[in-house]
Each structure stands twice: as structure tokens, then as C-alpha cells.
Amino acid sequence: MTLTNSPTRITAPQSDDISFLDFGTAFVRHAKERPDHIAVVDETVTLDWRSFDHHARCVAAQLQQEGVGSGTPVAALADNSAAYLTFYAGVILAGGAMVPLPTSATIDVLAKMLDDCGARLRFVSERHVETANGLGFVEAILANDLFDWGQAAPMERPVAVPPESLFDLIYSSGTTGTPKGIIHDHLFRGRQLMRMPVFGLDQDARLLMSTPLYSNTTQVAVLPVLARGGAVISMAKFDTQRFLQLSQDHAITHAMLVPVQYMRLMRDPSFDDFDLSSYSTKLSTSAPLPASLIRDILDRWPGELFELYGMTEGGISSVLDCASFPDKLDTVGRPVQGCDARIIDEQGYELPIGEFGEVVGRAGAMMQGYLNADDKTQEVIWRSPEGEDFIRTGDMGRFDADGFLTLMDRKKDMILSGGFNIYAADLERVLRDHPDVADVAVIAIPSEIWGETPLGLVVPVADGQATAVQIMDWANAQLGKTQRLSRVELRDDLPRSSIGKILKRELRAPYWD
């Protein structure tokens, strides 16, 4: 079975040779060239490249016997583990397409995802067996049994697939409604694999994987390391003490983290007690890193720090080298080579440097579209005057004279108060500088006078003494007249997605419902 793509396809720029790195070909080479080097590690097992390659090719052969071929979607519902990485590799070697289901989704949403793509759920962690049974997939392989699964002899060589063949299908988190399936082909992933070694994600890398494998954030780092023959150390669940201990024990060189993880790590009282001198590079994505947090990381954590801005859909890609541009820490850097990024207004016209609008981007790595959602794919396309497809990010931002991109807010999260556009990011940036503020989110709430007005939701530091009113007054003294907070509320915590994004929709709902 081959997944049928959405009829509307986004056209990505292509070089004459359609150059990209084929994951399958790169993967199997390492068993011959680096057989005794560590490939994957988790809490229970360590696999060198000889063993990892052998088990992945056994998985591939078994899947082939079951009818998996070029573009066949194969789903998994699992926590991070060496077995999960092995299964993922086996699916790709068999020519199939990985559908990593979000373990945070409800059973109803998972059922919609599986029905949408037609995938069989073939791999599941012990913790999610009940959910798998509820979905009717009782034949799914348990993670603990993977290395003993099947009787097929190892596949001799990976299945050759064309560049447009499906590599993976990643669904939006889908807390409500029907989530969108984002189509990645081999060209998309292959071009990412070629780009990421600039950060040292190669055969010498030891990457600590602490975000879930169903997130594109994780795959952007993990897949290049495996394609280049490095090592991935897997955490089933993020914990600051465990992360620091694994970093020290395995002499970790690389980590891809989201801002909330950095925040928690830097606040861990024992952070400075661990030896992190092996780190060469740390990457951050999914949300902007506050400038104060960046400075703390640079001061106390060895190695370079890069902030990456992009989308699971592709198109836009920018990088900030934090140490090299200390005066640009409130930006997400400049677009990478090969990325054409622009700012447009509500009517779709391009805006000049310095003006705020929606960020759109075009690059070699762009999704084919949303599965079975032609209308949604059409909505996300902006066509340039040259007739080229760009992906609309939904993020509001501007470029400065040096080409650095400052993000202000999600378009849907922008606050319209008394006819003025208020960017929550501006207000959050000020609130974060208060010494008693540990975490913050600013949202729009209804106002009879202004239509909408900004509310600050603040998580105080453990020993904070300032009241909500004092924090509000302190912030408003630094904000423009049209930006001022109507009030501040103190919270114990803020709801976040599995990769650390604040769920503003959940925060707004009680005030608007």
C-alpha cells in the first residue's frame, strides 16, 4: 500500500541533480565501517553499530513479509528507547514511511490519525498497550519484544525509493478536532540530513535525546546522527537530574532541547556539580529562548549554543549563533543559506525591512502538503510575485537591517486592543526581567472598553516576594501606553505541550468560554 498524497502539492526549489542524502544507504554503511562503535543506548540496552544494523534489517525484512513497501505508512505509539530507534530505522530500510503517533493525544484523536493515513499500528511501549488495544491493534509489537520479533533473515540492502516517496508523516498534536498530517518525502529529510552536520551532528557526535521521537524537533537532530554513524543516548522521559547524570556518564557532545528544558536545567540546584565539559554544541528550538536564559547558558554550560527557528512543514529556517551575536539575543538569527524568507501584510503584499508582518519561507526542505486536506494546504501557501510557493508560518515578525529576524507572536495570538496590535512577546520579555518571575505567558482576555486587553499569567520563583499587583506595576512602568497589562495573575505552573510550548489556547479558554 502507498499513501495517496494530498492533491495540492507545494513545490520546493530543486537543484539540477536533486542532491540529498539517502538515509538507508548511509545507515547500512556504518555496520561495516564502525561495527564496534556505540549506536544507540537507553536505560536497558546498549547497541553497537553491528547489532543496531542487524536488528534494524531484521525488522525491515519482517515488515516486507507483511507487505510493507515503498511509501507504506507504519505507525508506532511509544516512548523513547533503543528499540523505538531500531524499529524506525527498520521501517525506512523496508521502504516504508514512519508515522510516530503523539503519546500525549487522546485515544479518539489517535483513531482519527490512523483512519486518516490508513497506517497499521505495529510498535507500542508497555505503557501504551491499553491504548493500543482500545484502538483495535492487538498485534502491535511490544518494545520489550522487538529484538526477538519475527523469523525473517536480515534484509540484504535497503529498498531503493524515489525522492518523492513518503519518508514520514507527522501529525500536529491534535488536542481537539482533526489534526493535520504533514507529509515529508525522502527529498525533504535527505536535504535536512545534508544540512545538519554543520552543527557537528556527525559520526563523532554523542547526542542525548530527551524530547519525544514523534516530534520533528527530535528527528531533526536524531536522524542526521544516525545517518552519519554517531551515537544516540535515549531518555524515555526528561528529568533534570537524569539528564545531567547521562551527560556526564556518556560524555555527551550534543543536545537538542526546547526552552523550558533549558530553564529547568539551569535552575536545578546541582547543575554546576556535574561535569559537562564534553559538550561541543547545544541546540534549541520550538520557541524563542529568552535573552537572559541564553546568557546564563553561555556563562555556565560549555560548548556553543545555537537557536534554530523552523517549522515541521519546512520552508523557513533561521539560525542564531548565540555567542557570536550577543547583541542579537532577542532575535532568532538569520535565514540559512538556501532559504528565502520574507514578511507579508494581511493582503499578502511584501513589506520592507523593519516592518512587522507574517513570516513566509521557501527552501529545499518543504512538505509536500497536508494529507487529505487540500483546503488546509492551500491556506498555508503564499505565492510570490515570481510565482513560487512559500509556506506561511503564522508567526509575526520583522527583519532588521542586518537580516536578523525578530519574532513577535503567533498571528492567532496577537492581541487587538482598542485598535492597536499588541504583541504578547513584547510584554513577556519585560515580565521575564522581573527577579521574582520564573515563567510567564501573556494572553488576550475580553474587555468591554477595548475589545481585548492583555493579561499576564506569572509563575513566581520559589522565594519570590512580589505580589501580582507589584509585578504588573513594575512591568507597566516600562511598557508603552497602548501595551499596558490590565492585570497579572499568579499561577503554580503553565500548561505546555510535550515539547514545551505554552498552550495559550487552554489559558484563554476560561476567559472567552
Domain of residue 183, CATH code: 3.40.50.980
Q: Is residue 19's pLDDT more than 70?
A: no
Is 430 inside any structural domain? yes
Of 180, 202, 224, which closes a domain?
202
Q: What is the mean pLDDT of residues 173-179?
A: 57
Confidence tier at 14 by pLDDT (50, 70, 90): low
Predicted confidence at residue 8, as pLDDT, reads 67
Is 249 inside any structural domain? no
What is the distance in angstroms between the CA of the first residue and the CA of the last residue of the chain?
44
User: Cell 515570481 appears where?
Assistant: 386
Is 387 inside any structural domain? no
- Residue pair 343/442 in contact (Cβ under 8 Å)? The answer is no
- Residue pair 376/180 in contact (Cβ under 8 Å)? The answer is yes
Is 453 inside any structural domain? yes
Predicted confidence at residue 64, as pLDDT, reads 94
Q: What is the mean pLDDT of residues 301-322?
A: 97
Q: What is the mean pLDDT of residues 34-38?
A: 96
What is the percent of the chain where pLDDT is above 90? 78
Please tell me the pTM assigned to this model.
0.88
Q: Is residue 3's pLDDT more than 60?
A: no
Q: Is residue 268's pLDDT more than 90?
A: yes
The helix (run of H) or strand (run of E) holding residue 295 is helix 291-300
Domain residues for the domain of 484 are 414-512
* 113 or 151: which leads in pLDDT: 113
The helix (run of H) or strand (run of E) holding residue 393 is strand 389-399
Say how far apart CA 308 and CA 319 lie, in whole Å: 5
- Residue pair 472/487 in contact (Cβ under 8 Å)? The answer is yes
Of 312, 314, 249, 321, the residue nearest 282 (C-alpha): 321
Q: Is residue 428's pLDDT more than 60?
A: yes
Of 178, 202, 226, which closes a domain?
202
Which range among 39-53, 144-158, 471-485 shows the weakest confidence by mean pLDDT?
Answer: 144-158
Is 362 inside any structural domain? no
Predicted confidence at residue 1, as pLDDT, reads 37
CATH code (residue 442): 3.30.300.30
Q: What is the pLDDT of residues 212-261, one digit of tens each?
A: 999 999 999 999 999 999 999 999 999 999 999 999 999 999 999 999 89
Q: What is the pLDDT of residues 155-170, one digit of tens each?
A: 999 999 999 999 999 9
Q: What is the pLDDT of residues 67-120, one digit of tens each?
A: 999 999 999 999 999 999 999 999 999 999 999 999 988 899 899 999 999 999
User: Going by C-beta distance under 8 Å and a sequence separation of 6 or more, which residues neighbour residue 409?
Assistant: 395, 396, 423, 424, 425
Predicted confidence at residue 177, as pLDDT, reads 56
Predicted confidence at residue 498, as pLDDT, reads 76
Predicted confidence at residue 2, as pLDDT, reads 45
Q: What is the mean pLDDT of residues 176-189?
A: 86
Total domains, the chain: 2
Is 241 inside any structural domain? no
Q: What is the mean pLDDT of residues 392-404?
A: 95
Rounded to 5 degrees, what angle do the CA atoms 404, 406, 411 make? 140
Is 185 inside any structural domain? yes
Say how far apart CA 63 and CA 69 lie, in whole Å: 8
Confidence tier at 11 by pLDDT (50, 70, 90): confident
Of 160, 182, 202, which closes a domain?
202
Is 404 inside any structural domain? no
How many CB atoms are closer than 10 A to CB 45?
14
